[in-house]
Structure 1
Amino acid sequence: NYRIQDRRNDEIGGLIEAYNTMAHGMLEKDQVERVLQRFVSPSVARNMMADLDQVQLGGRDVSATVVFADIVGFTRLSENLAPDAIADMLNVYFDAITTATSFYRGTIDKYMGDCAMIVFGVPEKDDEHLFHGLCCAVMIQRLVERLNEHRHAHGQTTVEFRIGINSGDMLAGNLGSRDRMQYTVVGDAVNLASRLSNMAGGNEIIAAAPLLSNPNIASRVRATESGAMRIRGKENPVGTYRIDGVHALSETLMEQRIAQFLAKLNTEHQRVQGE
């Protein structure tokens, strides 16, 4: 009987040890995933952690939407600010962009200096990727306007963003080298979105004209034709529209989320002032 009890104790001890090892491994994996989400989108991080052996170079053809948003006159602005002031300012505005991106199921592809590249429809499928991309662009515009009011009232530097948006076929996947790769999208549709951003004015959203040819999109977006633009790399001028807004219900939901963002910002500002 003692031997049987000892054997059972050993088995129970082994199970407990195995459970603790597994739990520790799951905790470590969860911690790694949370850290990884700070550098790539949550969906990309989840896919990577789900099967680490399958993380490899490669891509697939997709239909998706890309938004580029960058700061007007950033080079001149950075010459007059200390590096830490620039970093703090960028973090505040990029936090606003991240808020808009998450609200409309987008993914921050990357931050490039003063520019954010955002994709919709990948890596997670979204049949409304174009409309969500347009809504996100408008929300970024609205957030920056309100954020500028807040910063101006507190004597802080303000900026304007110029935004370009395009949708179409592109290649999505892990691109780069075996030692260093990045999940991203590439293609002519992506390049055009970047060019349109460069052509936009301050606090302006410029979209390629074909995006508004879809009746399902045109009926939910307020836009003004802004004519054909000569785009570097394009033989013929590209028809464009300035996006002024989206339909009333979408803007109502957008304003609610913006109010939440500003309330959180005010709370943080009061906390810092009280320290």
Structure 2
Amino acid sequence: MMQHALSPCCSVSGAPGAALTQRCGTDWWSTHHHPGDNDSAPSDPADPSAIELTKDVVTVLFTDLEGFTRLTEALPLERTAAILGQYYDALLSVAKATGGRVDRFIGDGAMLYWSRTRHGPPHADRAVAAVGLLREALARQEPHKGDRIAAGLPVRFGVHTGEVMFGQIGAGDTSRTMVGDVVNVAFRLQQAAKALAPRPVDGGLRGYVSRETTRHLTADRPTGTFQILALPGRRHAALAQRM
């Protein structure tokens, strides 16, 4: 379930404030910025000349922690935050290992990406590799003692590749992000994965990789049959395969 956008420094680590502040968002960006990225620190949103938009091809990975609403209802807030932090840690380790970026955490959801500008043609390979690493990372995590409801919470994902406009969108307390159909498709593929029956081989992580992403792979492509998926809000169906 998608929640209001909060950065971990506000929602998990105990920083004051119930919502994402501009200061907290800037600190979070600086902490996790990768040297060599084709961008800079957030500019002054009041200065229109400082806003720069660039076009790029990216592979986006959307994830969602299934059953999070049930979790928040059943557990104390502190315990819920600790489990969410563990989930964030797994995603951050995967992003670091593959050279990816965490664009944002959205409650129990997250958006990661790999770009052609930064990674060259293998950007799709890195995203697919990240799925495998995330599966391994989740398997290594141990549920908090007494949190039976948290044991084995599945994670859904969707991966898609396409063009985006990247930069600081709008004015005011906005963050650097990307816009484009690729973001919507990756999110919808993650939602579509809810209908997939769990398999032992999934390791608690199930989802779809789009045909467009497989076309951008430079190494081995996932085996499997492409499915025709009708995605909410979209006129055309998507082709994707389970991974």
Superposition TM-score, scaled by structure 2 size: 0.73
Cα 1:176–1:215, aligned 2, differ >3 Å: closer, same or farther? closer
Deviation of the 1:82 alpha carbon: 1.3
1: distance between equivalents of 2:236 and 2:71? Answer: 34
**Of the candidates 115, 122, 143, which is equivalent to residue 151 of structure 1?**
143
Answer yes or no: is 1:95 the counterpart of 2:97.
Answer: no
**Of the candidates 199, 206, 209, which is equivalent to residue 207 of structure 1?**
209
SS at match of 1:190: helix
Cα 1:130–1:235, aligned 2, differ >3 Å: closer, same or farther? same
Deviation of the 1:55 alpha carbon: 8.2
1: distance between equivalents of 2:86 and 2:30? Answer: 16
2: distance between equivalents of 1:80 and 1:165? Answer: 31
Larger Cα-atom Rg = 1
Deviation of the 1:48 alpha carbon: 1.9
The 8 Å contact of residues 208 and 240 in structure 1, kept in 2 or not, is answered as: yes
Deviations 1:119-153 (A, max 9, x none): 1117x611121110111122112211221xx227x
Hey, what does 2:40 align to over in structure 1? 47
Hey, what does 1:166 align to over in structure 2? 160
Hey, what does 1:78 align to over in structure 2? 72
Hey, what does 2:225 align to over in structure 1? 225
Deviations 1:28-66 (A, max 9, x none): xxxx9x9454665344798228x8789832311111111
The 8 Å contact of residues 57 and 181 in structure 1, kept in 2 or not, is answered as: no
Superposition TM-score, scaled by structure 1 size: 0.65
Hey, what does 1:64 align to over in structure 2? 58
The 8 Å contact of residues 41 and 109 in structure 1, kept in 2 or not, is answered as: no
Answer yes or no: is 1:182 the counterpart of 2:175.
Answer: yes
Identity of aligned residues (%): 22
SS at match of 1:224: coil
The residue identity in structure 2 corresponding to 1:151 is: P
Deviation of the 1:187 alpha carbon: 0.6
Larger fraction in helix: 1
Q: Indicate the structure whose relative CO is greater, using CA pairs within 8 Å and at least 6 residues apart.
A: 2
SS at match of 2:88: helix
SS at match of 1:176: coil
Deviations 1:170-203 (A, max 9, x none): 11111131x3221111111111000001111462
2: distance between equivalents of 1:188 and 1:39? Answer: 28
2: distance between equivalents of 1:39 and 1:45? Answer: 16
Answer yes or no: is 1:241 the counterpart of 2:241.
Answer: yes
Deviations 1:81-124 (A, max 9, x none): 111111110001110110000110101100000001111117x6
2: distance between equivalents of 1:101 and 1:68? Answer: 12
The residue identity in structure 1 corresponding to 2:63 is: A
SS at match of 1:222: coil
The 8 Å contact of residues 48 and 55 in structure 1, kept in 2 or not, is answered as: no
SS at match of 2:162: strand
Cα 1:222–1:143, aligned 2, differ >3 Å: closer, same or farther? same
How many residues align? The count is 203
The correspondence of residues 242-261 of structure 1 with structure 2, limited to 5 A, is 242-243=242-243
Cα 1:151–1:69, aligned 2, differ >3 Å: closer, same or farther? same
Aligned Cα root-mean-square deviation (Å) = 2.9
Hey, what does 2:20 align to over in structure 1? none
Cα 1:215–1:89, aligned 2, differ >3 Å: closer, same or farther? closer
2: distance between equivalents of 1:38 and 1:60? Answer: 20
Structure 1, unaligned runs of 5 or more: 1-31, 244-275
Cα 1:151–1:38, aligned 2, differ >3 Å: closer, same or farther? farther
Deviation of the 1:226 alpha carbon: 4.9
